[in-house]
Amino acid sequence: MQNYSNLEKLSNDLQNLFQNQKDENYYDFEIICQFNQETNPISFKTHKSILSTRSQYFKSLFNSEMKDSQEKQMILKDISSQTLFSILNYFYSGKIELELQNAIEILFFSSKYLIDELIEISSDFIKSNFRIESIVDILKLSESMNFNQLMDSSYQFILENFDILIKTPFFLQLEENHLNSILVNDQIITNEFEIFQALIKWGKHKLNINQQKDNQRLDKQEKEQIQNQISNVIDKIRFIDFSPKELEGTLIENLIPNQISQTLLQFETLRNHQGNEMKLRELIQNQNSFIFKSRIGLQSSIIQTKEYFNRLKEWINDNEFFSKMNLGFSARRDGFYCKKWHDMCDNKGKTLVIIQTTANFIFGGFTKVGFKKGSDRYIKDSNAFIFSLRDYQNSRKPEKFSIKRNEEKHAIYYNLNYGPVFGGEGYGDIDLNSDLQPGRLSFGRSYNLPFGMKFGTNESKNYLAGSFDKWQVYELETFFI
């Protein structure tokens, strides 16, 4: 015995049966499409046996004792006639052509009428088209059809790729409600200043203002128009994650609505002067908007990306410390004096030191035991480490460097005439003098070097700050509980 099959011919014959639509004697159920965007209703003649085989909804409908089960027609108003034709044609032939527009409509209809095969097919097709250039269109289509599951997936894709999206013209296609839904989310891993710049471009786009026109060359009317355009979104920008330079430049451009601008000016004034910690804390606590709610999770003008924050959290591996630590010292706020640093940072236990140079290198160190008051001495800490987060070009990955096994006794150095020092003897791996500016860096003396690098070479000397002695501290922040 030999089996033969011709599924292609069967598919074509059944497709012809559906598409013929001439002899009413062949059909026992009519579906009338009255889509609100189409002028005239369109009728499709079908077979209950086919519908009930292909859809659990129709199977339940025709097998029930309800009045609807005896009807010979039904009216659909929530699907276009073209898409309905594609779905019914698939019922008969098992064939369907998908494009982004109809795939979303098919997914919506299939979910409502329990067509499992098409749910899987259309869902896979749409997700395969989740790309930067298509995601905004998918979001808008799913929104127009109130398909929440697809909307949620679209928003998730945007959040995970927001750093890429804001650099493309597709970002400008987002609507105000989309931006509000996105920007309230702390999942975004993007430099906050870049988000703000993208928002200004979005405002210009909506107002048809030339994108090439420098912000400082905008006239008064254009600035006021941009302020109004972004007024319902701007309070979702986390200005607390801006660097001092970025915030200063932003205020000079005068593109922020006046109320927020005045609050930020007050914040900048308090942050840059000593003795204002209480007033600064009150200002932040009294704000109901997101402007002082760090997306990073760290009140720092140096750590401006969630990547850096997550690396530090991973390296320190202490959830209690991260949930309770505060910015105890900022050189730009409290002064570049080692005595001030010791007054505010000694005897605090676990301590995180982060340094940003004028050339935008970022590095620092962590000690579990802290800088304990005492005479000129080294302090042992087997858990101490130093780290590098970026060089001036941001061309390398963040790295952690553990203390060498035979150097644990030289983990940190305490001396009232010096700032924080990690490593020794002689010059430390990180070494700051009395005005919190560099002594000489001897990276690799007490802490491990990157694989293959040798201590004492120019490569190791210049690794952390670009130079072992000719660099300057722009900001030094110290965190503890």
pLDDT in tens, 426-479: 788 999 988 898 877 889 999 999 999 999 899 999 999 998 888 999 999 999
Domain contains 279? yes
HSE-up (13 A, CA, CB side) for residue 147: 24
Domain shared by 70 and 90, yes or no: yes
Domain contains 156? no
Confidence grade of residue 67 (pLDDT, cut at 50, 70, 90): low
Domain shared by 391 and 262, yes or no: no
Position 113 pLDDT exceeds 80: yes
Domain shared by 379 and 319, yes or no: yes
HSE-up (13 A, CA, CB side) for residue 15: 14
Residue with tokens 């069967």: 10
Mean of the per-residue pLDDT values of the chain? 87
pLDDT in tens, 295-351: 877 778 888 777 888 899 999 999 888 888 888 999 988 889 999 999 999 999 999
> Contact 357/387 with Cβ under 8 angstroms?
no
Domain shared by 263 and 338, yes or no: no
Q: How many CB atoms lie within 10 A of CB 202?
A: 22
Domain contains 137? no
- For the residues 32-46, what does the mean pLDDT come to? 83
Which among 295, 329, 353 is the end of a domain?
A: 295
Give the residue numbers spanning the domain of 422: 306-480
Domain contains 22? yes
Which among 295, 319, 335 is the end of a domain?
A: 295
Domain contains 383? yes
Count of domains forming the chain = 3
Domain shared by 452 and 336, yes or no: yes
Share of the chain above pLDDT 90, in %: 40
Domain shared by 345 and 232, yes or no: no
Domain shared by 110 and 21, yes or no: yes
Which among 96, 128, 160 is the end of a domain?
A: 128
Domain shared by 318 and 459, yes or no: yes
HSE-up (13 A, CA, CB side) for residue 342: 19
Domain shared by 284 and 335, yes or no: no
Domain contains 465? yes
Put simply, whether the predicted model's pTM sits higher than 0.75 gets the answer: no
Domain shared by 402 and 475, yes or no: yes
Domain shared by 394 and 456, yes or no: yes
Domain shared by 381 and 421, yes or no: yes
CATH number at residue 75: 3.30.710.10
pLDDT in tens, 154-194: 999 999 899 899 999 999 999 999 999 999 998 887 888 99
- For the residues 105-110, what does the mean pLDDT come to? 86
Amino acid identity of 227? Q
Domain contains 153? no
pLDDT in tens, 255-289: 999 999 999 898 888 877 766 767 877 888 788 78
Strand 385-390 relative to strand 362-367: parallel, antiparallel, unpaired? antiparallel
Domain contains 442? yes
